[in-house]
A and B are shown apart, each in its own frame.
Chain A
Amino acid sequence: MNVFHKVTLEALKKNRTRTTVTIIGIALSTALSTAVTTSVSSLQHFLMTDEIERCGSYHVSMNDADPSAYQTLSANAEVKDIVYLDPIGYAMAGSENDYKPYLYLAGMSEHFTDLVSVRLISGEMPENSHEILIPEHLYSNGNISYSVGDTLTLEVGDRMIDQHTLTQHNPYTPPEELEDEQIPERFAARETVTYTVCGIYERPAFEEFSAPGYTCLTVDADDVPSEEALALWYTVKHPSRVYDFMNEIQLHGNSHTDLLMYKGISRFDGYLAVLYGLTAILIALIAFGSISLIYNAFSISVSERTKQFGLLSSIGATKKQLRHMVRFESFCVSIIGIPAGLVIGIVGIGITLLCVGSKFSALTESGQTMHLHASIPALVIAIVVSMLTVHLSAWIPSRRATKVSAVEAIRQSTDIRQERRPIKTPKWIYKLFGLSGMLGQKYFKRSRKKYRATVLSLFMSVVLFISSASFTTMLQNSVTSVFTKNQYDLRFYMEDCDMSTDAIRELLLADENVTSCAVTIPAYADGSMASDAFSEQAVKAEYLFGRESEIEGEVGSFLQLQFVDDTTFREYLKANGLNEADYMDPAHPQGVCVDKIITFDEEKGKYIDMNLFQCDSFDFHAKYTPLLEGYQFYGYEGDNGEIAVYRNEDGEETQLTGEEARVRRTLHIGTVLHEIPYFSDTNGVPEVYYPASVMEAVIGGTTPYERRNDANFVMTAPDHEAAVQSLHTALIEHHLPVSHLYDVTADHENEHNLIVIIKVFSLGFIVLISLIAVANVFNSISTNVALRRREFAMLRSIGMTSRGLQKMMNFECILYGTRALMFGLPVSAAMSLLIWHTIHHGLESGYQFPWQAMCFAIFSVFAVVFITMLYAMSKIYHDNPMDALKNDNL
């Protein structure tokens, strides 16, 4: 160790506080960069895993490939793995989907699932060429159901037009949609094959939307590709060369662009460009914040040591040696700060992902959890950014230090540089704040550059804090406004079901995870009711605004009707102390109304509960369109919509006019309740519940009655995930569409998870960047105070009291704070408005001024500044003014 290193190390040891703050600053900055880069690499890895889970890990796929292509590729040394799907043929499926009439049978080669994703729902993978996997959408989309263990005997053949064989990539056109000159395709049966259903799997990603057949997978019998058009998937040994390889091999294929993109191979595409762009912005922000902090630390250390430099220089140290000293100092603090920061960053993100990683499943189809994936490039970027930051921060002051001449340096005359013109302060400052205020203002104005770093870091923290806080709040509001939570957990819906609703309800209730199940058939009532039935709250909220009625004393209104299965309805009546005889008599049907609605309050900017009615019962005069036998209602025509138009199956039209075109019904609402039951579909209109048994009496002969067989089965299940699992099996067994089962709670949780993710990450970012700012402010203020030791001593020696000194410093604090807030608050307000503009589309949430965040920011800014100043001044107070005055005098 040479003398310069020794001097530097001693200086670092002597200024323990500043060295510590500098190391903390470097560690924080590195931690933040590492956190950003590892988050991105983890996200990338997560997206990649999801893509593999959803589609497979192949690099290139080829449709309708020539068998020779398989041979060529297999023989190529660059190809790592290759799998294929050997077409067996088509069979008629009997599907209800006009565009998908076939089953498409194909044999998987060995190791097929290594490269292509096949996701089992139930059963097992086929083990021989007589076992078959059936896709789930054969039922949900085609309404054909098979169960595991079923035997299928199929006429297998080809789709032909003339002598051409058609493949999965040639969509099917139903004969009635063909143009005159088009030749319809025909099905040419080849053989009869019997298969056993071994499992049900999710619709494969490789089956195109317009594919004419439901893909059923078996095992390729001979494991040798046939002479027909194959589907191929392969991986290459050097993924980075995949695009070159595809060009070289001259075989038309589709690259697995998404996967390759997540691996970082590809042109800069949208998704990744945004991700990388965002990362770059965040890192730039961090670097900016850190440079100002670390630069300050070095610049302070350099000015404190200018005298030392002067002395060394006067006894013969070269400029290079002096610069080397500063660089050595930066090396010393980096060697501790950077590794510490790396560890903090990785551990921080690791813990964060451990806590919220599972919530990322909301973002993907495959429901993956996000794990920490600290890739080497991510760490290298973080280290390089931090090293550059430190180096740059040390380089500027080191140049300045060596530019000063030896004598000047010894005299420290440039330490607190001053402009050669008088510093003017407004008179009112002296009048209002006295001498202390005037001095404070003058000191503040004197070294603007020095203060700029402090003010800038405060400004940045304020803007970042407020804008990210308002971003999270707004996002949260907008998400919750779209997803107001229903009280039930699961919903299953059926249209025109063959099975009785009671039977389905029994089936669902039989599941051990389902605690209650109600069948609701929705309908509506449009008409009018007495205007005095409405509560003050409803009138005030302008709920009735613009709703007129032809009946005097009434206003136009709308009710949501729900016909609830009798069992549930009976329980509901009992729970509310209502008499069955009053409400379940088809001869005199009476409804139960729940008038509580959840509505958005523009003023308050949030959702509020509202009770619409002030009466206990009322009559509702509804108007319906009548049903016409053999016809379907088509629409209203005429100036006032007085003509109802109907069409039959052959497209023939008929009309009803005047009173004929209207069915008037009076709905008797026997009681108004205020609590929403679990089977309610809260949507901002009052709901009226009837037992299903009175449905015909209430809406029979009207158009809503047409949909009497469309039922919702709403269920409560404390463990909704387990319920979905077990119901899946039950539904498949009973040939009911699995895709009609909705996990409402999971949807809600996913939305909530998204908010949690945003909150955790933005909060983490805000906290860390604010810490950097705090360290920055701390460093620059405390050192500024230390550098002014002599001036303070001077003021004290000519009679300034400690209180006066404190007052002066307080005034400076106020100047720092107000300066930072003066720019910070308007910019943050503008930012939050900008954010609102970006995310408010399609949402009714109004702009909310971020008052809370602003108040917090104002408080924090002053707290940080004052606390730092108090700390710094406490050292000054312990000074003997004479010692300080004598200090460094030459």
Chain B
Amino acid sequence: MVILQTEHLCKTYGSGENAVHALNDVSLTIHKGEFVAIIGPSGSGKSTLLHILGGVDQPTSGKVWMNGSDVYAQNDEELAIFRRRQVGLIYQFYNLIPVLDVTENITLPVLMDGQEVNQERLAELVETLGLKGREKHLPNQLSGGQQQRVSIGRALMNAPAVLLADEPTGNLDSKNSQEIVSLLRLSNQKYGQTLIIITHDENIALQADRIIAIEDGRITRDEVLRG
């Protein structure tokens, strides 16, 4: 079942002579539950693609379909709600809210929705993420690996259909990196979430079901490893 589809996606920064084509006619289809690794050199357009898939950056042209609906046909308000409920974003630099503690950061998307926090799910997540005992800690009291787990927790809290991770291990040592990937893989398998991950790490890429290579804003390789 197709969950995510792009059609002739283009993203251009600047104009005229200074125009930079970050994405150039990218069309791809991703199925539900797939674990996709996007690889490519710096400046190839990986992050831009991921952000456009996540509804945080506007494409210059082309379309993104999620669960059959046109993502960028929505207004600002709807787009914000889409980001809150349909996707989970994980960044290299965690981007946690410094004034909120671990629990609050994890539950942020639920709180934003004005819904009651599912305590069972929260406890399960905290347990799985190995953050037990640190619920009341502020981000600056945690190590990098722990902070990244919190940001994964935040991405998973609303059980989104798609998890988008932008070099989630780029800032971590190899032990922490492996743990994080395992966690992501676990949620991919356990909850059937679609996982799209950008990485420079070949080992991580090789754990994916499918590898998409991007260069100069174009897909140069789309290889299914298992599935």
Contact = CB atoms under 8 A, between A and B. Distances in A.
Contacts of A423: 99, 138
A451 to B, nearest CB: 13
A416 interface: yes
B2 interface: no
Contacts of B17: none
A796 B80 contact: yes
A885 B95 contact: yes
A799 interface: yes
16 contacts: A420-B141, A421-B138, A422-B136, A423-B138, A439-B97, A439-B99, A439-B100, A442-B100, A791-B98, A796-B56, A797-B56, A798-B83, A798-B112, A799-B81, A799-B109, A889-B93
B57 interface: yes
Contacts of B56: 796-797, 881-882
Contact of A799 (B58, B83, B97): B83
A314 interface: no
Nearest to B111: A435
A795 B85 contact: no
A558 to B, nearest CB: 74
Nearest to A435: B111
B84 interface: yes
B32 interface: no
Contacts of A421: 138
Contact of B76 (A416, A422, A801): A801
A808 to B, nearest CB: 11
Interface in A459-509: none
B140 interface: yes
A434 B114 contact: yes
B114 A798 contact: no
Contacts of A796: 56, 80
A791 B139 CA distance: 13
B65 interface: no
A226 interface: no
A709 interface: no
B89 interface: yes
- Which of A442, A446, A794 is packed against the most chain B CB atoms within 10 Å? A794
Contact of B84 (A422, A445, A799, A881): A799
A799 B80 contact: yes
Contacts of A889: 92-93
Interface in A727-770: none
Contacts of B72: none
B101 A422 contact: yes
Contacts of A443: 99
A418 B97 CA distance: 12
Given A799-B112, A882-B51, A420 B80 contact: no
A435 B136 contact: no
Contact of B80 (A434, A439, A802, A885): A802
A799 B109 CA distance: 7
Contact of B108 (A422, A798, A801, A802): A798
A803 B57 CA distance: 19
B99 A798 contact: no
A442 B77 contact: no
A800 B154 CA distance: 14
A421 B58 CA distance: 38
A73 B183 CA distance: 105
Nearest to A803: B77
B158 to A, nearest CB: 9
A804 interface: yes
A802 B114 contact: no
Interface in A788-825: 790-791, 794-804
Contacts of B93: 889
Contacts of A439: 97, 99-100
B88 to A, nearest CB: 8
A880 interface: yes
Contacts of A418: 98-99, 138, 140
A431 B43 CA distance: 45
A799 B77 contact: no
A20 B92 CA distance: 37
Contacts of A794: 95-97
A557 B114 CA distance: 75
Interface in B134-149: 136-138, 140-141
A295 to B, nearest CB: 24
Contacts of B81: 799, 801
- Which of B58, B81, B98 is packed against the most chain A CB atoms within 10 Å? B98
Given A798-B83, A799-B85, A804 B98 contact: no
A707 B47 CA distance: 106
Nearest to A805: B80
Interface in A418-436: 418, 420-423, 434-435
Contacts of A885: 91, 95
- Which of A443, A795, A800, A885 is packed against the most chain B CB atoms within 10 Å? A885
B137 to A, nearest CB: 8
A421 B141 CA distance: 9
A795 B97 contact: yes
A250 B111 CA distance: 90
B114 A435 contact: yes
Contact of B112 (A445, A804, A882, A886): A804
Given A420-B140, A799-B112, A791 B97 contact: yes
Contacts of B97: 439, 791, 794-795
Given A802-B76, A804-B112, A881-B56, A797 B99 contact: no
Contacts of B99: 418, 423, 439, 442-443, 445-446
Contact of B83 (A416, A420, A435, A797): A797
Contacts of B92: 889
Contact of B138 (A420, A801, A882): A420
Given A420-B140, A442-B100, A885-B95, A435 B112 contact: yes
A729 to B, nearest CB: 82
A484 to B, nearest CB: 61
A446 B57 CA distance: 30
A790 B97 CA distance: 10
Nearest to A800: B112
- Which of A445, A798, A880 is packed against the most chain B CB atoms within 10 Å? A798
B33 to A, nearest CB: 23
Nearest to A889: B93
A416 B98 CA distance: 9
Contacts of A886: 47
Given A418-B140, A790-B95, 12 more contacts: A420-B138, A420-B140, A420-B141, A422-B138, A797-B56, A800-B84, A801-B77, A802-B76, A880-B57, A881-B57, A882-B56, A889-B93
Nearest to A883: B57
Given A418-B98, A443-B99, A801 B51 contact: no
A593 B141 CA distance: 88
Contacts of B112: 435, 798-800, 804
Contacts of B58: 880
Nearest to A797: B56
Contact of A797 (B85, B89, B114): B89
Contacts of A434: 114
Contacts of B83: 797-799
Contacts of B98: 416, 418, 446, 791
Nearest to B108: A798
